[in-house]
């Protein structure tokens, strides 16, 4: 997560390495630069302590790394570590204190020669080998010496507009063996500049994580290394280049955190001729992008949500969009590890406007804090399931890391407004209730990458293949019975950049012609259907952006998908059951404006009062998360709570536990009991409760305490 301030003045590795899964002591985690505080003690399993010197964007605390780690360990948390790889509190390097020479000249610079800063005196860095030597010796070694076995290096980011510093020019000459070219010179220079940026952070993470693992082994310890990163969708939207999916094949990378939150998901996109925020839909695709990066490789991924966001909004806005992103992450049932929040200090202690119409700045409302704590409890309980999202399965959109290569600067003959080329393939299906997936071209070497895909949609209008091997894999899949829709005019200027399809023995005018050749289809083939072995290729000679930039523009795509897929189901909702949890998301701008109705006795988990309802209606543009009482465990049992329970005891007609939660928050708890209580005590004193006879549940409400609140119920 970042603030961008301008101050004036790869090829995928084709093998699957063994990768230890990491302990499940950190199913839920969060990141903070601060030591333990009673106000931020949210009771996740683990804490990711940020920065050797803290967070450069938060200078309010100067406690040492070791003391911060110790403060959380003393409270029972597993401790992990995170810092930025592309930026951070590395003033001793930039000032020259480390090696006697200042290095502010290694910051990323734009065409005007201005450094791109993450904050005051914190530039986004060109990761030179000298910088990596500093980073390994002063950051990674110290963290491991402090007893940390899990290291997260976040946001390996190179801004698309950057590429003009002397440091970058030197890297260009070393990589390409020719003089540097400004990226605004031509589409080819833009593409080559982005390809180098991609390589530099691939190299940076490979070298740094390899060092961490080797140093850990020298101490007899296993170090696990992860990359917290935005999705490929978001980086392409924001004009950032990063190695993304290629990292999943590195033996030194154990997994990712999917940094998806309101700030990324609210970027406007086009659908049916209208550009606007579509937070749920965007988040669903972002999480899907991250899930598909690791699914074929077996690497681990945590899904992040943020109850606020980097930019100041009002509390009502935060809650509405938190609910949308939270639902989206849960619609991937094969994943159940979560970063429950970043920066709890700004969530629990920050001041934001009450609402869009009331500018008074207040701390988090008690009801929102309670709902948020209930969500953390649900994530701790959330199971991996074999179920799948309802709707026509097996339709996927092909993506490549080069989706980030064509967005800055804009050259004549190419335009992709708000990533319309990608959304043009995904949004017409998603908005009609089709659970469209993502397939990364970098993962095609893994057998699992296409095993559940019946129909694949692809284009080279907004991205290009970095390796001809991907085409051989695609051709084999199609000939074996796969169905492929290729969309594109293949006339954009990036078709002619210097790359593998037009160099050496290859002389294809467009990369798609190489794929068509392997499938026995003529180069530049016109629109139409082509039988290829047991499979089928459908060519649409439209750029995908045309499917969403005008009202009704998606009909050619929908017609082709329906014909090739057969029996396509359309609807205005998604539903999924995960154990006792029932999820519903109802889409607006869809095939119907009807609400979705759920039957049964349910606890509404998005309502901080945890009401029990007989059935529920979810209207278009909203989402629901419910606890199904028909699937509740045997009484007595805590079903939902804005705290975490410890020392749970069940004996005869007595149920007791100790619950912990952040100071100055309200604990709302719904408990299933065999019969109505005859007494309820909280810290030894009689407490009020509400009994719901039809559901046999008791509702308690009292203040949280990180040191614990003792609850005893007798019946």
Instruction: Give residue-wise pLDDT tens across range 381-401.
Output: 999 998 899 999 999 999 999
Side-chain half-sphere CA neighbours of 251 within 13 A? 9
Q: Show me where the domains of the chain are located.
A: 5-380, 395-549, 573-631, 637-714
| Helix or strand (DSSP H, E) at 395 | strand 395-399
- What does DSSP say about strands 395-399 and 455-459: parallel, antiparallel, or unpaired? parallel
Confidence (pLDDT) at 7: 30
Confidence (pLDDT) at 619: 98
Confidence (pLDDT) at 16: 30
In whole angstroms, give the CA distance from residue 326 to residue 319: 10
Confidence (pLDDT) at 59: 67
Confidence (pLDDT) at 702: 98
- What are the CA-CA distances from residue 23 to residues 70, 251, 651 (Å)? 20, 18, 32
CATH 2.60.40.1180 for domain 637-714, yes or no, is: yes
Burial of 386 (0-12, 13-18, 19+ CB in 10 A): exposed
Confidence (pLDDT) at 8: 29
Q: Which residues of the chain have pLDDT under 70?
A: 1-23, 59-60
Confidence (pLDDT) at 4: 36
In whole angstroms, give the CA distance from residue 49 to residue 150: 11
Confidence (pLDDT) at 101: 96
Confidence (pLDDT) at 10: 31
Helices (H), 469-520: 469-479, 511-518
Task: Tell me the CATH number for domain 5-380.
Answer: 3.20.20.80
- What does DSSP say about strands 573-578 and 596-604: parallel, antiparallel, or unpaired? unpaired
Q: Are 291 and 328 in contact (CB under 8 A)?
A: no
List, edge to edge, every strand of the sheet that includes 122-123: 5-6, 116-119, 122-123
Residues in the chain: 715
Domain 5-380 and domain 637-714 have a common topology: no
pTM of the model: 0.95
Confidence (pLDDT) at 285: 98
Instruction: Give residue-wise pLDDT tens across range 130-176.
Output: 999 999 999 999 999 999 999 999 999 999 999 999 999 999 999 99
């Amino acid at each position: 997560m970042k603030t961008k301030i301008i101050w004036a003045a790869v090829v995928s590795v084709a093998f699957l390495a063994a990768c230890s899964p990491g302990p499940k002591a950190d199913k839920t985690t969060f990141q903070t630069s601060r030591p333990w505080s009673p106000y931020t003690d949210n009771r996740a399993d683990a804490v990711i302590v940020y920065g050797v010197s803290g967070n450069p964007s938060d200078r309010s605390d100067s406690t040492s790394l070791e003391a911060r780690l110790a403060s959380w360990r003393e409270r029972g948390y597993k401790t992990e570590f995170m810092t930025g790889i592309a930026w951070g509190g590395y003033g001793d390097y930039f000032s020259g204190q480390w090696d006697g020479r200042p290095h502010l000249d290694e910051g990323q610079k734009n065409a005007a020669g201005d450094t791109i800063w993450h904050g005051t005196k914190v530039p986004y860095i060109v990761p030179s080998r000298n910088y990596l030597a500093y980073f390994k010796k002063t950051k990674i070694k110290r963290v491991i010496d402090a007893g940390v076995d899990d290291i997260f290096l976040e946001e390996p980011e190179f801004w698309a507009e950057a590429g003009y510093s002397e440091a970058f020019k030197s890297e260009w000459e070393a990589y390409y063996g020719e003089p540097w070219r400004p990226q605004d010179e031509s589409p080819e220079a833009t593409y080559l500049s982005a390809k180098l940026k991609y390589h530099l952070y691939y190299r940076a993470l490979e070298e740094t994580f390899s060092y961490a693992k080797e140093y850990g082994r020298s101490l007899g310890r296993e170090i696990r290394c992860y990359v917290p990163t935005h999705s490929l969708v978001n980086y392409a939207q924001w004009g950032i280049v990063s190695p993304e999916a290629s990292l999943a094949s590195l033996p030194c990378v154990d997994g990712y955190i999917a940094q998806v939150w309101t700030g990324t998901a609210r970027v406007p996109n086009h659908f049916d001729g209208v550009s606007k925020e579509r937070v749920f839909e965007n988040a669903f695709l972002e999480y899907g992008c991250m899930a598909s990066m690791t699914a074929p490789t077996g690497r681990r991924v945590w899904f992040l949500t943020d109850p606020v966001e980097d930019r100041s909004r009002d509390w009502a806005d935060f809650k509405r969009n938190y609910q949308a992103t939270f639902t989206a992450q849960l619609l991937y049932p094969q994943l159940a590890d979560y970063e429950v929040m970043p920066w709890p200090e700004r969530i629990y202690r920050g001041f934001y406007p009450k609402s869009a119409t009331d500018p008074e700045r207040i701390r988090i409302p008690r009801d929102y804090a309670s709902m948020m704590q209930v969500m953390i409890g649900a994530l701790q309980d959330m199971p991996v399931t074999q179920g799948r999202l309802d709707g026509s399965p097996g339709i996927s959109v092909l993506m490549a890391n080069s989706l980030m290569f064509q967005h800055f600067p804009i050259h004549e003959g190419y335009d992709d407004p708000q990533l319309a080329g990608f959304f043009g393939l995904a949004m017409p299906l998603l908005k009609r209730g089709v659970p469209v997936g993502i397939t990364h071209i970098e993962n095609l070497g893994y057998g699992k990458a296409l095993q559940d895909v019946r129909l694949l949609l692809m284009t080279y209008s907004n991205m290009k293949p970095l390796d001809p091997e991907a085409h051989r894999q695609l051709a084999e899949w199609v000939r074996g019975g796969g169905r492929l829709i290729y969309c594109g005019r293949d006339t954009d200027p990036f078709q002619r950049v210097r790359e593998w399809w037009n160099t050496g023995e290859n002389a294809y005018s467009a990369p798609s012609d190489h794929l068509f050749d392997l499938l026995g289809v003529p180069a530049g083939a016109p629109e139409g259907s082509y039988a290829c072995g047991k499979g089928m290729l459908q060519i649409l000679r439209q750029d995908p952006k045309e499917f969403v930039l005008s009202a009704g523009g998606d009909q050619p795509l929908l017609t082709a998908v329906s014909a090739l897929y057969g029996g396509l189901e359309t609807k205005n909702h998604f539903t999924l059951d995960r154990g006792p949890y029932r999820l519903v998301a109802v889409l607006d701008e869809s095939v119907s404006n009807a609400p979705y109705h759920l039957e049964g006795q349910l606890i509404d988990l998005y309502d901080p009062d945890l009401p029990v309802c007989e059935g529920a209606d979810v209207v278009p543009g909203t989402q629901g998360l419910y606890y199904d009482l028909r699937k509740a465990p045997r009484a007595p049992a805590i079903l939902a709570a804005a705290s975490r329970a410890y020392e749970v005891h069940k004996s005869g007609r007595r149920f007791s536990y100790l619950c912990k939660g952040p100071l100055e928050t309200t604990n709302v708890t719904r408990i299933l009991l065999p019969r109505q209580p005859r007494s309820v005590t909280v810290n030894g004193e009689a407490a009020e409760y509400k009994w719901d006879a039809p559901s046999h549940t008791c509702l308690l409400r009292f203040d949280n305490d990180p040191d614990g609140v003792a609850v005893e119920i007798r019946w």
